[in-house]
Amino acid sequence: MPERDTPRGEIPVPHDLQIELHDDPEAEAAFAALPPAHQREYIDWIISARRPETRMRRVEETARRAKEDAAG
């Protein structure tokens, strides 16, 4: 059985999303408060981008949406 890079149940966050969230503490807290299934949906959406421009736009959109969801 292969070793896991992250503890069981923890979702590996792509580096570019980590940077975006680190630069915006409000978005970081909002993303962390999302249920794991919602985090996974955003991450899958980001990593499915074929072009770097699309991926960056999705990273930015994820941070924005997380804050909006937290605000209600």
Residue 50 lies in a domain: yes
What average pLDDT values come out for the chain (72 residues) when binned by 10 residues? 51 94 96 95 97 98 93 77
Instruction: Give the structural domain span for 44.
Output: 20-71
Residue 41 lies in a domain: yes
Q: How many domains are there within the chain?
A: 1
Residue 45 lies in a domain: yes
Q: Give the whole-angstrom CA distance, residue 72 versus residue 67.
A: 9
- The token duo for 47 is 């990593």
Residue 9 lies in a domain: no
Residue 57 lies in a domain: yes
Helix H, strand E, coil C: the string for 16-72 is: HHHHHHHCCHHHHHHHHHCCHHHHHHHHHHHHCCCCHHHHHHHHHHHHHHHHHHHHC
Residue 4 lies in a domain: no
- What pTM did the predictor assign? 0.82
